[in-house]
């Protein structure tokens, strides 16, 4: 599936919920299914800055695709990074670089998009894209 | 049942913001330790200033300037009276507590040398740690720390052991912003003076709940921010004993703070203007005075008594939740409850509470050493004011229970 298709799938899933409680409960579920980062990569170098909770992200190439794993000590943050990883993992770096992130707004997480928000969703998106840029350079 | 002579419903009408909704829910504002809300009386003082007599102070010959100067200096008088300060020139307007601390820390650079020691408490806000670390780096002095026990109380025997003729300065907050502990500042000040050290007390967290008598305390410096006591942001007070303020060099150069300027030499203005370079936050200063009027019209004793009952009730209710632990169980504490639920990150609880319209603070509360002490990433902090109600405490407790059931 392309990033676009996955994002539409996520939007579909979230459209079933009537209120914030259900959305958050679903996010918490997603957080629990996050592909966890291996312990050896849970180091300060892999921490995303700008988050009140700790978020570690690791990226590695599998063929020409970039695979992300992550973890967080806060479950809602884990849900957010899980959604992002679902959309961006197993994709070509150039596609990750080019992808837009409007779907975050559409699934009702707009409030998390503000750059001053302590959970740092913006920092997470930025970090995933930075990894993509780095690996794209490597592939070139 | 909470006993009080205060008419909370009427008091709440003074605070327009308390009527608003957040995420579709009536606002429950429990982040008073970060900033307090502003009563209409203070908002009116701000509006009156800009509508009626906005002008630069101390220099103008025109009527508007005179009116603004009079109002600003009247506010200084109100602050002087409120804190029982001997002389009005010992009241320095600042932009807030952090400014006041930095002014003193920078000034002390010229008094300290290698081998000197400064003592700071283990439960300080970063703003009362970093400036002193910078001071120590500049001068070669050593920073010593008064440890605390698991209840969040300073271990005073250790403090007394730290004191010596090498001690030049002691810094401590009056009330801990992260734990709510009321520190025994009388004892801290008295003991420091015995070895000839000066004492700065950070009153930012205390001033909304305790009315300190600065002459009786015999403290050398005391700093507060107006925005934690129903005043506006960006203004505060530094109290300093006149003898110290005369000795300290000016902090910033500029207009207002000079007596005479030639290119060869400048002589500085008398106190308090020596430390008030540039056009100050005139409106803020006047509104600070209005905030003190407001708090005093209610009476500190009455409002503190009510807040204590509220905190007591909230503590009991919160502790009924399984797995909830309160950090900071000092015998003397006020207005703050810092807590966590086992296995749940404070950030998650704060996020769910926000969705329910309940404003709390999560994180390390600018006091990372305290979080390191307890080996936790942070806490959820609910902090109370006299305009909060028992019903709001109930909503908090319900909210925490709901968050817990979602997050577990």
Identified catalytic residue from A27, A30, A48, A51: A51
Per the annotation, the verdict on B366 as an active-site residue is yes
pTM: 0.91
Mutate which of A20, A48, A52, A108 to test chain B, going by most B C-beta atoms within 10 A?
A52
Kindly report the nearest CA distance between residue A35 and chain B, in angstroms: 19
User: What does the pLDDT read at residue B252?
Assistant: 78
Identified catalytic residue from B136, B172, B283, B366: B366
Instruction: Check CB contact under 8 Å for B362 and A24.
Output: no
Kindly report the nearest CA distance between residue A123 and chain B, in angstroms: 17
Ranges of H-type helices in A2-120: 3-15, 20-32, 75-88, 93-98, 102-104
Kindly report the nearest CA distance between residue A24 and chain B, in angstroms: 8
Kindly report the nearest CA distance between residue A87 and chain B, in angstroms: 23
For chain B, give the secondary structure using H, E and C: CCCCCCCHHHHHHCCHHHHCEECCEECEECECCCCCCCCHHHHHHHHHHHHHHCCCCCCCCCHHHHHHHHHHHHHHHHHHHHCCCCCHHHEEEECCHHHHHHHHHHHHCCCCCCCCEEEEECCCCHHHCHHHHHHHHHHCCEEEEECECCCCCECHHHHHHHCCCCEEEEEEECECCCCCEECCHHHHHHHHHHCCCEEEEECCCCCCCCCCCHHHHCCCEEEEEHHHCCCCCCCEEEEECHHHHHHCCCCCCCCCCEEEECCCCEEECCCCHHHCCCCCCHHHHHHHHHHHHHHHHHCHHHHHHHHHHHHHHHHHHHHCCCCEEEECCCCCECCEEEEEECCCCHHHHHHHHHHCCEECEEECCCCHHHHHHHCCCCEEEEECCCCCCHHHHHHHHHHHHHHHHHHC
Chain B residues near residue A81 by CB distance under 8 angstroms: none
Q: In whole angstroms, what is the distance from residue B313 CA to residue B335 CA?
A: 11
Instruction: Check CB contact under 8 Å for B347 and A77.
Output: yes
Instruction: Check CB contact under 8 Å for B355 and A54.
Output: no
User: What does the pLDDT read at residue B61?
Assistant: 84
User: What does the pLDDT read at residue B408?
Assistant: 85
Residue A115: which pLDDT band, with cuts at 50, 70 and 90?
Answer: low
Instruction: Check CB contact under 8 Å for A21 and B406.
Output: yes
- Nearest-Cα residue of chain B relative to residue A72: B345
Q: Report the half-sphere exposure of B352 (CA within 13 A, side-chain side).
A: 30
pLDDT (tens, 9 = 90+) of chain B, 408 residues, equals 677 888 999 999 999 999 999 989 999 999 999 999 999 999 999 999 999 999 999 877 899 999 999 999 999 999 999 999 999 999 999 999 999 999 999 999 889 999 999 999 999 888 888 888 898 998 999 999 999 999 999 999 999 999 999 999 999 999 999 999 999 999 999 999 999 999 999 999 999 999 999 999 999 999 999 999 999 999 999 999 999 999 998 887 777 677 777 777 777 778 898 898 889 999 999 999 999 999 999 999 999 999 999 999 999 999 999 999 999 999 999 999 999 999 999 999 999 999 999 999 998 888 888 888 999 989 999 999 999 999 999 999 999 999 999 998
User: What does the pLDDT read at residue A103?
Assistant: 87
Instruction: Check CB contact under 8 Å for B377 and A25.
Output: no
Q: In whole angstroms, what is the distance from residue B87 CA to residue B77 CA?
A: 9
List the single residue in B351, B363, B378 with the smallest CB-CB distance to A76: B351
- Nearest-Cα residue of chain A relative to residue B364: A52
* Cα–Cα separations (whole angstroms), residue A137 to A67, A133, A134, B403: 16, 6, 5, 44
Chain A residues near residue B362 by CB distance under 8 angstroms: 52, 118
> Model confidence over B111-126: pLDDT tens digits?
999 999 999 999 988 8
Which positions ≥6 away from B376 have C-beta within 8 Å?
Answer: B327, B340
Residue B34 CA to its chain's centroid (Å): 9
Scanning A117-136 for CB atoms below 8 A from B yields: 118-119
List the single residue in B23, B348, B377 with the smallest CB-CB distance to A76: B348
Which positions ≥6 away from A13 have C-beta within 8 Å?
Answer: A26
Residue A117: which pLDDT band, with cuts at 50, 70 and 90?
Answer: low
Identify whether the C-beta of residue B276 lies closer than 8 Å to the C-beta of residue B92.
Answer: yes
Instruction: Check CB contact under 8 Å for A53 and B23.
Output: no
* pLDDT at A5 exceeding the cut of 90: yes
Chain B residues near residue A22 by CB distance under 8 angstroms: none
Scanning A38-57 for CB atoms below 8 A from B yields: 52-54
Kindly report the nearest CA distance between residue B277 and chain A, in angstroms: 32
The DSSP 8-state label assigned to residue A37 in this structure reads P
* pLDDT at A113 exceeding the cut of 70: no
> Model confidence over A50-84: pLDDT tens digits?
667 888 999 999 999 999 999 998 898 899 899 99
- B68-93 in b/e form (b: 16+ CB < 10 A) is bbebbbebbebbbebbebeeebbbbb
């Amino acid at each position: 599936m392309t990033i676009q298709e996955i994002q539409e799938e996520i939007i579909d899933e979230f459209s079933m919920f009537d209120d914030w409680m259900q959305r958050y409960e679903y996010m918490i579920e997603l957080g629990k299914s996050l592909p966890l980062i291996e312990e050896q990569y849970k180091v300060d170098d892999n921490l995303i800055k700008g988050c009140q909770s700790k978020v570690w992200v690791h990226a590695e190439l599998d063929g020409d695709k970039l695979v992300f794993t992550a973890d967080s000590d806060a479950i809602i943050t884990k849900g957010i990074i899980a959604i992002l990883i679902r959309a961006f993992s197993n994709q070509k770096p150039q596609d990750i670089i080019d992808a837009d992130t409007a779907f975050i707004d559409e699934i009702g997480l707009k409030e998390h998009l503000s750059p001053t928000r302590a959970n740092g969703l913006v920092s997470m998106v930025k970090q995933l894209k930075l990894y993509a840029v780095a690996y794209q350079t490597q592939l070139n | 049942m909470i006993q009080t002579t205060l008419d909370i419903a009427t008091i709440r009408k003074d605070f327009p913001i308390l009527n608003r909704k957040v995420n579709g829910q009536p606002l429950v504002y429990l982040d008073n330790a970060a900033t307090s809300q502003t009563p209409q009386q203070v908002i009116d003082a701000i509006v009156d200033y800009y509508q009626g007599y906005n002008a630069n102070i101390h220099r103008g010959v025109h009527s508007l300037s005179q009116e603004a100067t009079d109002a600003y200096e009247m506010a200084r008088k109100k602050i002087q009276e409120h804190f029982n300060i001997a002389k009005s020139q010992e009241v320095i307007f600042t932009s807030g507590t952090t400014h006041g601390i930095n002014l003193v820390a920078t000034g002390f650079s010229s008094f300290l040398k290698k081998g000197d020691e400064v003592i700071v408490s283990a439960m300080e806000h970063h703003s009362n740690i970093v400036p002193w670390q910078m001071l120590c780096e500049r001068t070669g002095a050593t920073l010593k720390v008064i440890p605390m026990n698991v209840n969040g109380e300073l271990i005073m025997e250790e403090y007394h052991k730290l004191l010596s003729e090498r001690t030049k300065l002691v810094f401590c907050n009056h009330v801990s912003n992260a734990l709510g502990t009321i520190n025994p500042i009388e004892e801290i000040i008295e003991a420091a003076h015995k070895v000839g050290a000066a004492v700065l007390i950070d009153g930012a967290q205390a001033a909304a709940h305790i009315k300190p008598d600065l002459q009786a305390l015999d403290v050398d410096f005391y700093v507060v921010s107006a925005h934690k006591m129903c005043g506006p942001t960006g203004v505060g007070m530094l109290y300093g004993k006149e003898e110290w303020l005369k000795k300290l060099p000016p902090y910033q150069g500029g207009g207002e703070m000079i007596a005479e300027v030639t290119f060869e030499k400048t002589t500085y203005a008398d106190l308090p203007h020596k430390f008030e370079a540039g056009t100050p936050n005139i409106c803020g200063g006047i509104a600070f005075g209005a905030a003190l009027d407001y708090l005093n019209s209610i009476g500190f004793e009455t409002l503190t008594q009510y807040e204590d009952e509220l905190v007591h009730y909230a503590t009991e209710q919160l502790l009924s939740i399984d797995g909830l632990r309160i950090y900071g169980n000092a015998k003397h504490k006020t207005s703050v409850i810092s807590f966590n639920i086992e296995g749940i990150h404070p950030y998650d609880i704060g996020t769910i509470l926000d969705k329910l319209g309940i404003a709390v603070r999560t994180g390390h509360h600018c006091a990372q050493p305290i979080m390191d002490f307890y080996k936790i990433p942070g806490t959820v902090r609910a902090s109370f004011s006299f305009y909060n109600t028992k019903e709001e405490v109930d909503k908090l407790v319900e909210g925490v229970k709901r968050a817990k059931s979602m997050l577990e």
